[in-house]
Amino acid sequence: MAEDVLLSDDLLSQLMSVGEVDLLVGMSSHNTANTVSHLDAIEESFQRNFVRQRVVIVNVASRDKGEDSVVAKGPGNLAEAGVRLPGITSLRTSHRVTANVAGPPSPGIALRTILAAADLLRARACAVVSPAGSNLHPDSVANLLRPVYREKFDYVAPLYTRNKYQGLLARNLLYPMSRALFGCGIRELFSDEWGFSGRLAALCLNQDVWHEQAIQARPEAWMAISAISSDFRCCQAFLGEKSQATKGLGTDIVEVLRQTVGTLFWCLETQQSWRLERGRSQPVPTFGPAHELTSDPTDLDRHRIFEMFRSGVTELEPILSSILDPETHSEIKSIVALAEGKFRFKSDIWVRTLYDFAASYHHAVINRDHLVQALAPLYRGMTYSFLVEHSDSSPAEMEAASEMLCDEFVLQKPYLMERWKAKVEVKS
Amino acid sequence: MRQTIVRALEEVYGNLVHMIAEFLPRFLVMLIIIAIGLLAAVVLKYILRALLGLTKLDRVSDDAGASRVLRMAHLPPMTELLSRSIFWVTWIGFILVGLSVLRVAGLQEQISRLFQFLPEVFVAILILFLGAVIANFLSRTALLAAVNAGHPSPKILSWSIRFVIWILAISMTLEELGVARQTVISAFSIIFGASMLGLAIAFGLGGQDLARKCLERYLGDTKEKEDKEPQPL
């Protein structure tokens, strides 16, 4: 670990004055209003759930924003901080530490700073909370910390209540693919909130990956996969409804694909020797409800989604032909020709398409960023098919369909292996 | 009279023997230089091929679209092309050095001019190669961005970018080679200016609706657009 370059003198002196801690919550602040409300929520969580534990909040902030006065009050009793709850008296000192970085902190820089602080303070349980949004529920913080501190888990992924039409990339790609290939069914591999143990923090901190673009943008999935691949104990904790705060990138599909699918493919690339040996997936213990779906009405333009799929596949034909297996490509071209009412993206074609993309990413048949972007029209096709197929489905039916998709990913794993190991043919 | 003829013949014979005596060693030196050149060229070719194989240049070339350009021109892959080029350049260089040993009048001047021109040829080839790489990369970037943003004519945008970069690369290549320098600059200015003016007029007048839609898309309220697709995460 390189604290000498990673942690500034100011931060080091703040951390040394804190000493060892039991719990650490990290966040990177984006604006002052959110920072204050988040800090209050975290401290409330500490007061309610961890009265006897030594705790610290590490806030990674931009040096230019001047948030020191808001966040870093320095060591002080909760009562002095003026957020004392009726009937609850903290027996420990709550510390707030601010790590100032030049420019807006990227998720990778923020996480690395938090991990370094956790390692230095020998924190037993840590959590990262979302910097965006206006409200953070104190129970969410406790739900992320508790499995690590009390149940000795090493990684805690969040679970949310969702609208059944939201989170389709996670449902149809990230979750089933990572479950099939990494053997651990974490539903929310990409989230702004998660928990982890001190030993996982130390393991991740010592990896030489922090300069990678995938880690800078979305380090949480890599952390989860590192935990799985090192046989650390993983679990999921229900946090309630996924608020607007944690939705992050919105519907900019290309950017979401770059950050999530790009990172997943990168993780496949770096963990390949381990992945080839892994068998079937292990069940992940879950605290709280396993998965909740709501059916609130949504205003989705299915026709536009289908048209973008159709035009995208047509216009990108030369690029797709260099990525996809000829058989897969011809099947996609045949379903593109179908009328909108008859179109369905069958799960076997979808899985083979994704495995073709993963293998082509491995062989770098074209620029990797371009490759991930070329997936956007196909994802739209799958989204359209999903919206049509599940317009009247109950949550149980959707869950059953999700399980079938997961099985399809496992079933076709040999196809990926075959393409992965195949000598790449240079195509135009 | 007879003695004069015999003396002249003896003199010619003497000169011939002297010339052959002077020429033969030079010719042998030339042959040796050419043979050494052939050996050096073969060694360099294999070394370069191995080095380029290690750097996976063919994959880079394919990714950048340069391989497709080479195939269209019925040329071998990039690694093979560069190895063969280094072989021929090296050997031709040795052949020219060998020829200069013969001290044929006028030949040395031509050889030195040819050597002076070689760097320009290399720079020109490099410009063309980089042009092909950049044109392919940027046109594919534009195509993907336009398709994913739902642009109505992504291929036109992509081909326009490819066309402009190719024109620029070809003009720079010809200028580097010194081929009709003034004409090339004028032709490039005219073609580039006319293309841009034509596109501007076509976009502003012929495609008023398209222009309005584009401006609305980029400057207008994006909230409506966001609600039309489900949250991916």
Cβ neighbours, 10 Å, residue B150: 15
Cβ neighbours, 10 Å, residue A172: 24
Question: Does A131 reach chain B within 8 Å, measured CB to CB?
Answer: no
Q: Which of A233, A231, A380 is nearest to A303 (CA)?
A: A380
Question: Does A315 reach chain B within 8 Å, measured CB to CB?
Answer: yes
Residues of A in contact with B233 (CB under 8 A): 167, 169-170, 190-191, 247-249, 256, 260
Regarding whether B126 and B73 lie in a shared domain, the answer is no
Q: Which of A393, A388, A279 is nearest to A343 (CA)?
A: A388
* B226 assigned to some structural domain: no
Structure confidence at residue B168 (pLDDT)? 86
As a residue count, chain A comes to: 428
How far is the C-alpha of A114 from the C-alpha of A127, rounded, in Å? 9
The answer to whether the Cβ–Cβ distance between A424 and B137 falls below 8 Å is: no
How far is the C-alpha of A151 from the C-alpha of A154, rounded, in Å? 9
* B135 assigned to some structural domain: yes
* B132 assigned to some structural domain: yes
Question: Does A426 reach chain B within 8 Å, measured CB to CB?
Answer: yes
DSSP secondary structure code for residue A65 in this structure = G
Q: Which of A103-107, B20-24, B180-184 has the highest mean pLDDT?
A: B20-24
The answer to whether the Cβ–Cβ distance between B68 and A166 falls below 8 Å is: no
Taking the CA of residue A46 and the nearest CA in chain B, the distance in Å comes to 29
Query: A112 φ, ψ to 5°?
Result: -60, -40
Regarding whether B90 and B2 lie in a shared domain, the answer is yes
Domain limits at B40? 1-104
List the domains of chain A with CATH numbers: 3-294 (3.90.550.10), 302-421 (no CATH)
Taking the CA of residue B155 and the nearest CA in chain A, the distance in Å comes to 7
Structure tokens at B8: 């002249």
Taking the CA of residue B38 and the nearest CA in chain A, the distance in Å comes to 31
At residue A50, the 3 state secondary structure works out as: coil
Regarding whether B167 and B73 lie in a shared domain, the answer is no
Regarding whether B96 and B112 lie in a shared domain, the answer is no
User: What is the CA A142 to chain-centroid distance, rounded?
Assistant: 19
Sign of CA dihedral A11, A14, A20, A23: negative
pLDDT tens, residue by residue, A103-150? 777 888 889 999 999 999 999 999 998 777 666 788 888 899 999 998
Question: Does A377 reach chain B within 8 Å, measured CB to CB?
Answer: yes
Q: Which of A14, A79, A17, A26 is nearest to A57 (CA)?
A: A26
- pLDDT confidence tier of residue A202, bands split at 50, 70 and 90: very high
Structure confidence at residue A79 (pLDDT)? 38
Taking the CA of residue B60 and the nearest CA in chain A, the distance in Å comes to 8
How far is the C-alpha of A277 from the C-alpha of A55, rounded, in Å? 40
Instruction: Tell me which residue in B62, B71, B147 faces A316 most closely, judged by beta carbons.
Output: B147
Structure tokens at B14: 């003497």
Question: Does A248 reach chain B within 8 Å, measured CB to CB?
Answer: yes
Q: What integer is the mean pLDDT of B85-96?
A: 88
How far is the C-alpha of A94 from the C-alpha of A88, rounded, in Å? 14
The answer to whether the Cβ–Cβ distance between A387 and B230 falls below 8 Å is: yes
Contact A58, A113 (CB under 8 A): yes
Regarding whether B119 and B82 lie in a shared domain, the answer is no
Taking the CA of residue B145 and the nearest CA in chain A, the distance in Å comes to 8
pLDDT value at A188 more than 60: yes
Regarding whether B121 and B51 lie in a shared domain, the answer is no
- pLDDT confidence tier of residue A1, bands split at 50, 70 and 90: very low
Residue with tokens 């021929």: B88
Question: What type of residue sits at position A218?
Answer: R
C-alpha separations of B94 from B39, B82, B111 in Å: 10, 18, 11
Q: Give the domain-ending residue among B83, B104, B125.
A: B104
Q: Enumerate helices (H) and strands (E) in chain B, giving the number of each.
A: 9, 0
* B232 assigned to some structural domain: no
pLDDT > 90 in chain B, percent: 14
The answer to whether the Cβ–Cβ distance between A248 and B67 falls below 8 Å is: no
- pLDDT confidence tier of residue A243, bands split at 50, 70 and 90: low
Pairing of strands A194-197, A125-128: antiparallel
Regarding whether B119 and B59 lie in a shared domain, the answer is no
Regarding whether B130 and B79 lie in a shared domain, the answer is no
The answer to whether the Cβ–Cβ distance between A300 and B229 falls below 8 Å is: yes
C-alpha separations of B198 from A310, B189, B213 in Å: 30, 14, 20
DSSP assignment of A263-328 equals: HHHHHHHHTHHHHHH--SPBP--EES-S-EEE-------HHHHHHHHHHHHHHTHHHHHHHS-HHH
Mean pLDDT of all residues belonging to chain A: 82
pLDDT tens, residue by residue, B136-174? 889 999 999 999 888 888 898 899 888 888 888 888 888
* B92 assigned to some structural domain: yes
Domain count, chain B: 2
Chain A residue with minimum CA distance to B152: A311
- Helices A198-205/A107-121 angle, 10° precision: 120
* B100 assigned to some structural domain: yes
Question: Does B223 reach chain A within 8 Å, measured CB to CB?
Answer: no
pLDDT tens, residue by residue, A163-174? 888 888 999 999
DSSP secondary structure code for residue A126 in this structure = E
pLDDT tens, residue by residue, B33-86? 999 999 999 999 999 888 888 877 777 777 666 776 676 666 778 888 888 888
The answer to whether the Cβ–Cβ distance between A373 and B232 falls below 8 Å is: no
How far is the C-alpha of A290 from the C-alpha of A213, rounded, in Å? 32
Here the CATH number for the domain that contains residue B156 is 1.10.287
**In A316-402, beta strands by DSSP E:** none
ipTM at complex level: 0.81
The answer to whether the Cβ–Cβ distance between A168 and B226 falls below 8 Å is: no
At residue A186, the 3 state secondary structure works out as: coil
Residues of B in contact with A311 (CB under 8 A): 147, 150
How far is the C-alpha of A247 from the C-alpha of A130, rounded, in Å? 10
Q: Give the domain-ending residue among B78, B104, B130.
A: B104
User: What is the CA A92 to chain-centroid distance, rounded?
Assistant: 32
Which residues, in sequence order, are CB contacts of A117 under 8 Å at separation 6+? Answer: A7, A11, A15, A24, A26, A56, A58, A97, A99, A123
Regarding whether B133 and B60 lie in a shared domain, the answer is no
Question: Does B116 reach chain A within 8 Å, measured CB to CB?
Answer: no
Q: Give the domain-ending residue among B88, B104, B120.
A: B104
* B230 assigned to some structural domain: no
Query: A287 φ, ψ to 5°?
Result: -100, 120
Regarding whether B124 and B71 lie in a shared domain, the answer is no
A134-163 residues touching B, CB cutoff 8 A: none
Regarding whether B100 and B165 lie in a shared domain, the answer is no
Residues of A in contact with B230 (CB under 8 A): 165-168, 251, 298, 300, 383, 387
Residues of A in contact with B148 (CB under 8 A): 253-254, 308, 312, 373, 376-377
Regarding whether B53 and B94 lie in a shared domain, the answer is yes
Q: What integer is the mean pLDDT of A67-78?
A: 47
Residues of A in contact with B68 (CB under 8 A): 428
